Structure 1
């Protein structure tokens, strides 16, 4: 199946955004590990990779607006499932940590968890619409 123009645009934009993210992330870590930086500089460096993540959100929204209604519904439904599963899992884990000795989870893992769960959910949601 050939890619739609919307999918081609999405893939091109995501490649640029994710490449920028990786450069900023690894660059910030390298700079922080190599030099003795002042705290304000370290804060700015740690926040730089957030900018491509925001661009990623805009790219996803533009893609959802460009696809047909069924594809948009599949994307939105799988995203909702991903958000709910990660929210309930993190809430449940937090409640358990209140009564059981468990390691903490870095907040930076919530977004990749959401993306992963949404991707798995999309496989099952897509089947419903076939």
Structure 2
């Protein structure tokens, strides 16, 4: 494993650990809080480690070689298209009242995980494609 990827893992795992811990903490804490300011601060606590995760992703892409960047760029394009297409299709079905509408926050909270998950799956597929060539 190259140094750039080791650094990425050193940045990724602590950010994800803190994110998971803060999600559980904030959800439990919100049940006991009153007042908009306190609820806003507690709700946004898990966003901070996600910012560090995004920073780690940008740094690893920036510091990779050209071929690895190409794989990531293709995976980002494919993952973004799949995630966007999925949410577009979902919105069209909601608009046609074919499926029951969920609360708005239930959809909005899934946008980033779907995009990152689509990127991860697409990256595996793009890597396999280039390995077979």
Question: Shared fold (TM-score greater than 0.5)?
Answer: yes
Deviation at 1:53?
1.0
Partner of 1:29 in structure 2? 27
Distance 1:30 1:88 in 2: 34
Partner of 2:53 in structure 1? 56
Tell whether the 8 Å contact from 2:15 to 2:52 is kept in structure 1 after alignment: yes
Residue of 36, 39, 42 corresponding to 1:42: 39
Partner of 2:68 in structure 1? 71
Distance 1:129 1:99 in 2: 40
The answer for unaligned runs of 5 or more in structure 1 is: none
Residue by residue, what CA displacement relative to the aligned partner does 1:9-63 show, whole Å, maximum 9, x if unpaired?
1001101111121222111112112x24222211111111111111111110111
> Deviating runs (4+, > 6 A) in structure 1?
none
Residue of 6, 10, 13 corresponding to 1:12: 10
Deviation at 1:113?
1.3
Residue by residue, what CA displacement relative to the aligned partner does 1:76-118 show, whole Å, maximum 9, x if unpaired?
2111111111111111211121112423352111211112221
Q: CA RMSD in A?
A: 1.5
Deviation at 1:72?
1.2
Partner of 1:127 in structure 2? 128
The answer for unaligned runs of 5 or more in structure 2 is: none
State the SS of the aligned residue for 1:106. helix
Distance 1:68 1:128 in 2: 18
Partner of 1:107 in structure 2? 108
Distance 1:27 1:36 in 2: 12
Tell whether the 8 Å contact from 2:75 to 2:120 is kept in structure 1 after alignment: yes
